Structure formats: structure tokens, C-alpha cells
Amino acid sequence: MYSQGLIGSDSSTDETVEFLAAFQARIDAEEKIEPNDAMPEGYRRTLIRQIGQHAHSEIIGMQPEGNWITRAPSLRRKAALLAKVQDEGGHGLYLYSAAETLGVSREDLTDQLLDGRAKYSSIFNYPTLSWADIGTVGWLVDGAAIMNQIPLCRCSFGPYARAMIRVCKEESFHQRQGYEILLTLCKGSAAQKEMAQESLNRWWWPVLMMFGPSDGESVHSDQNTKWGIKRFSNDALRQKFIDATIPQAKVLGIEVPDPDLKWDDSLNDGRGGYVHGPIDWDEFWRVVKGHGAMNRDRIRNYKKTVDDGAWVREAAMAHAEKRAARKLAMAAE
């Protein structure tokens, strides 16, 4: 998974007008900005923050799905889930590498995550409580991630855009796999179908929040649009997602928990689309600020992983140094 509408970015910058204009001209010509190119400080800072947030989301996102690896109901599902969680770790890895090209280390980014300076997607602060949640997370969370990330494949910053192309391919595989889990449940027993419905009831609204608040309230999104980091508004992406998802829910035979949902012919320039009921943004901000069901556990678990692994990382470094020294000594003989 996934990037969310960037939370709390600061894209202020103080280069000369000429420099900024020349930079803007490159962006407008759809040129890719590469790590060694001159760039405004605000652009660099915004990208570090966004790519870091995205990488952290991949890493923290391993927890809710990893929660079911040892309980997956068949060997095929167990292998697929383990491979999916592994893919998410791989996404984290490419993204940390992309961020490193901007002059920030993985360790620094990890420190920022652990001390709360950096955020990750709010969706991962919800718990996975049933096997159906593994289907729902794949279908909707990876699905929302794809909506968010496809435009990022054309992001002005080269390394991020290239990472997104690779990541999006895998996310769409995850999305189909998740949908297939739900399809199997919905074709199964009454208890299985109920498990799928109950899962959708819990995830639907939090997934819609993944796109971020309405753009009226979203900070600095204008500058990010000019810089080619953001291509569509949060609301436009959310609309696309809902329009794509409702027909899929109908195939499953389960319903999204929104009594106000209705078709409106006038949406999407007259092609029609779904109008949804009000989103509880208080809940969104509460979770972003650390008060969701799983915020504390996610960070505590990750901190434990980082702390428990310290001696291994130190040993690997010490061993590499010893080897290098021995090699040097041999060469000197």
C-alpha cells in the first residue's frame, strides 16, 4: 500500500524568482526532476515528507495483514498473504531508496516515524478482526492506494515516479487477490457472507478517508499541484474510487454502509456517478492525531522490532569491518 493525501506538508521555499521560474518551466514541460538536479528546498522537503510517509505506510501496513498469516485458512491463502505482506515490505524498501536520493537516510526516516514527527496512512490504525478483513483490505485499501498512486506514476520527481510504476503493478495484483477472497466468502455459507458484510461495514468509511479531507481544507495542495506532485484533488480521486467500487460490491452481493448513497446523472460531466453521505472527519483527525484503535500498538510493535534488531545490525556491521580488515591485512602481506 499506499499514499494518503499528504498530511501537514510545508512547501514554503525562498529561492530567487528566476530560479523558481526556471524550475517551474521544467515541470510544465513534463521533464522529470532527478536527484542531482537543482530544486527548490520546499520541493525537496515536500517530497521527502511524502515519500517517507508513503514508505512508512507500507511498513506499518505489514502489521494488520501480518496479523492473519499464521491463521490463514488454507495453504494457498497462507502463501499468497505472506507473499503480499512481503511485497509491501519491498514497496517500503524502494520508497526509502527513492527518499534517500533526496539526502535523507532510512534511519532518520525511521526515527521520525517512531517519535511521531512522520505520519503513515490512517487506515492502518484500524484492526483486522476476521479473515474477511484480509479480503477487504486487499480489495479496498490496495484499491484506494492504486487510485492515489496511478497519478503518481507521472510525478515530476523521477525516482518516485519510477518506484510507483513498479508498485502499482503489484498493488493491482493485491487488489484482485483481495476481491477474490471476498468472492469466495460471498459464494460460501451464510456465516462466510456475513463475515464479508461485517468486514465491509467496518472498513468502508475509513477507506474513503484514505483520500484525505476535501480539498477546501487540505493544506498546500495548490503548490503541490503546480510542482507536479499532485495531479487530482482528494475529492476527485475519492469519487473515482467510489464509482469503480460500488459495481464490484454489487457483484459480491454485499452493501456499503451508506444509507445516503445514490446515483446522480449529473456527476462526472454528465456521465453520472455516486453521491455519498457525509464522512466523519472528526474520526479521521482523531485517528491521524494518534487516538485510533491501533495507533499505539502499531508504533510500539515497530519500535520493538527496531530495538530488538539493533544487536543484529551491529553484529553485521562489526563482521563486515572485520572482514574488510582481514582482506586488507592479506593484501599487505
What residue ranges bind Fe ion (CB under 5 A)? 1, 58, 88, 91, 142, 171, 174
Least separation in angstroms between residue 259's CB and Fe ion is 30
Contacted by 91, from Fe ion, another protein, none: CB < 5 to 8 Å by type: Fe ion
Q: How many C-beta neighbours within 10 Å does residue 279 have? A: 17
Q: Which residues bind another protein (CB under 8 A)?
A: 59, 62-63, 66, 69-79, 82-83, 85-86, 89-90, 92-93, 96, 106, 131, 181, 184-185, 188-189, 191-192, 301, 305, 308-316, 318-319, 322
Contacted by 246, from another protein, Fe ion, none: CB < 5 to 8 Å by type: none
What is the gyration radius of the CA atoms in the chain, in angstroms?
A: 22
* Closer residue to another protein (CB): 289 or 319: 319
Q: Give dist(CA 292, CA 283) in Å, integer.
A: 8
CB 261 within 8 A of CB 203: no
**Distance from chain centroid for Cα 146:** 9
Contacted by 329, from another protein, Fe ion, none: CB < 5 to 8 Å by type: none
* Closer residue to another protein (CB): 312 or 329: 312
CB 63 within 8 A of CB 124: yes
Contacted by 310, from Fe ion, another protein, none: CB < 5 to 8 Å by type: another protein
Least separation in angstroms between residue 222's CB and another protein is 35
Q: Give dist(CA 167, CA 261) in Å, integer.
A: 31
Q: Give dist(CA 162, CA 236) in Å, integer.
A: 23
Q: Give dist(CA 219, CA 226) in Å, integer.
A: 14
Contacted by 290, from Fe ion, another protein, none: CB < 5 to 8 Å by type: none
H/E stretch holding 166 = helix 158-186
Least separation in angstroms between residue 206's CB and another protein is 21
